[in-house]
Amino acid sequence: MELQFLVLLVFFLGWPTVRPQPLSDLIPKSANDLNVMLQDYAYRAFTFERTGIPFDGIVPSYLTGINISALRLRSGSLYSRGFDSYKEFVIPPGVMDGPRHVERLVFVYHNLGNWSSHYYPLTGDHMYLAPIFGLLAYNGSDLSATNLPVLEFNATEKPITFKFGPIKPVSSGRVMKCVWFDVIGSKPVYYEMAPDNTCLLSTPGHCSIVDAPFVHHRHTSHVGKTIAQVFLGALVLGYIMGLLIFHIRGRRNRTMENRETMTRAGTHYEEIQLATTECPKKASWTGCL
């Protein structure tokens, strides 16, 4: 009995144990890695191959707080009709995919929630007022495909709009602005917000609303106007000086021509007068020639 117990003990102690993988190894390291993972889980949401219907996906538990969805469309229908309401996005007609044209594409929607600043950090004195929302496109011919590259698209007629819900007003000396990141999450681009808490975009990427410092442009505008006025004044002054110089030179040339004419006339008169004086009074007219 003791021998059997020892054999079983050695067997179990020698059996390799499977250790769970740390969460730090599971969580995507970069925004691009996150896009790849979310594309995979968004495609899993398709219960059947149907166009024009959004399917909400489920992310792993270690990415709780992120919401995703997938929408499959035909490229021709996307260009001619757009899609009126895909979550908070309004996709107008005229959106073209390219340069790798596909017959069907899938728009993957991201709401990064509390992961927004982790994958898309802001620069300077800016703070998020809403989560980061993403709209990326992929080839929709194979809904089981993974690790797909992001498709380029471009809104050629009207911009794609994203309307945020109610936003808490910012404090004095601050303004609300839109922020946009490209598909790889590079340096943020800040720009003015459209009415009704709306941001406009025309290419794939991620956007949100931020609390930004108010920048006074009045001084810069005044300096620009002053420079323009000085430059215009210099042009007008140069033009007037040119006309004045042209007038003075013309007048001087005319005066010299008049003097030369008078000088030639005076010389001719003196020659005639001298010839008349030297001719004898009794000589015939022909004798003086």
Q: Where are the domains of the chain?
A: 19-213, 218-270
**Single pTM value for the model:** 0.69
User: Parallel, antiparallel, or unpaired: how do β-strands 127-128 and 198-201 relate?
Assistant: unpaired
Dist. CA 69–CA 45, nearest whole Å: 8
How confident is residue 288, by pLDDT bands cut at 50, 70 and 90? Answer: very low
Nearest Cα neighbor of 199 from 186, 215, 184, 181 is 181
Of residues 225, 223, 183, 187, the one with CA closest to residue 206: 183
Residue type, 119: Y
What phi and psi values does residue 182 have, to the nearest 5 degrees?
-75, -175
Between 236 and 191, the higher pLDDT residue: 191
Q: Was domain 19-213 assigned CATH 2.40.50.140?
A: no
Q: Taking the CA of residue 89 as centre, how many other CA atoms within 13 Å lie in the half-sphere pointing to its CB?
A: 30
Nearest C-alpha neighbor of 201 from the set 248, 151, 155: 155
pLDDT of residue 138: 97
pLDDT in tens, 219-232: 445 555 655 575 56
Q: What percent of the chain has pLDDT over 70?
A: 68
